[in-house]
Amino acid sequence: MHPEILPSYFIGDARVDSTLRRLYADALRVDPVARAAATGRGLDEGAPAFYGAMKDAYMPVTPDLGMLLYALARATAAREAVEFGTSFGISAIWLAAALRENGGRLVTAELDDAKARRAALNLAEAGLADRVEIRTGPAQQTLAAGLPDTLDLVFLDGAKSLYLPVLQLVEPRLRRGALIVADNTDMPDARPFLDYTTRAASGYRAAALTTEALGARHPCRLLVRTG
Ligand SMILES: C[S@@+](CC[C@H](N)C(=O)[O-])C[C@H]1O[C@@H](n2cnc3c(N)ncnc32)[C@H](O)[C@@H]1O
């Protein structure tokens, strides 16, 4: 995914597409440098300390995973969605663009205040600010209250060790048939989440999926709430 091979359009909305193109092009410039610095310090990718070292990095969903989020939200007519891990707002833009079509909205949680402020600007640039509430601070706290009674879709993309606690926080609100997408589930810290959601009596059914970008593979999970 080099800037010159980014698609000329994503969803066909001029403001959404131009914002996504600008953000992905910037991520291609910024992220490799930040990642090399963080891993050079011996930090494990996906662990809580890693994100402190990645304050300038996007770490975005691949365009294919973004499109999958968009398609899932459109296909299920999702109206109420929650995201863990906003970063600069790329996945929030994909989700909010779909939710807007359904008359819905997104609550998204970001630990870092500067990132949350830039995400707000990016969502405004995409014309989606009125569809998204950004909650700044640890998601374990900011998502503990004040969510819609019923959730249709949850996207997990923050610190991997928190996937399970955050899922358990929102679990009572998941409607039967709700979708959960969890990115980077190959990382060791995501293991408790995988163990919990793949038990026979878990109340979830899960598919492992992989998208690719720049030749790298990005495993994720798609779950449906069955229980
Ligand atoms: C992989 S990035 C998210 C990328 C974003 N979903 C996208 O596709 O553009 C992970 C983000 O989670 C945030 N994060 C990590 N731990 C968090 C926590 N406890 N609460 C809220 N956000 C957290 C990090 O600051 C980082 O911005």
The tens digit of pLDDT for each residue in 143-178 reads 999 999 999 999 999 999 999 999 999 999 999 999
Q: Is the CB of 123 under 6 A from ligand 1?
A: no
Say which CATH number the domain at 211 has: 3.40.50.150
Containing structural domain, residue 221: 63-225
If asked whether residues 196 and 173 sit together in one domain, one would say yes
Name the pTM for this structure.
0.96
Does a structural domain hold residue 107?
yes
Strands 80-84 and 151-156, bridge-based pairing: parallel
If asked whether residues 143 and 207 sit together in one domain, one would say yes
Atom of ligand 1 nearest to the CA of 66: 8
Tell me: the pLDDT tens digits for 39-56? 888 888 777 888 888 899
If asked whether residues 155 and 173 sit together in one domain, one would say yes
CA distance 157 to 83: 7
Average pLDDT, the chain: 94
Atom of ligand 1 nearest to the CA of 59: 1
Q: Is the CB of 66 under 6 A from ligand 1?
A: no
Does a structural domain hold residue 3?
no
CA distance 24 to 89: 11
Most informative mutation of 54, 65, 84 for ligand 1 (most atoms within 8 A of CB) = 84
Does a structural domain hold residue 160?
yes
Atom of ligand 1 nearest to the CA of 23: 9
Q: Which runs of consecutive H residues, i.e. helices, occur in the chain?
A: 14-40, 48-53, 63-75, 90-101, 113-125, 139-142, 163-170, 191-198
Crossing angle of helices 90-101 and 14-40, rounded to 10°: 150
175 alpha carbon to ligand 1 midpoint, in Å? 24
Q: What is the pLDDT of residue 43?
A: 85
Most informative mutation of 157, 161, 162, 189 for ligand 1 (most atoms within 8 A of CB) = 157
CA distance 9 to 20: 9
If asked whether residues 49 and 110 sit together in one domain, one would say no
Quote the number of domains for the chain. Answer: 2
Judged against a pLDDT cut of 90, whether residue 73 lies above it is answered with yes
Choose between 214 and 209: higher pLDDT.
Answer: 209
If asked whether residues 206 and 115 sit together in one domain, one would say yes
* Confidence class for position 4, pLDDT limits 50, 70, 90: low
Q: Which two tokens stand for residue 144?
A: 């503990």
CA distance 27 to 222: 25
Q: What are phi and psi of 40, to 5 degrees?
A: -65, -25
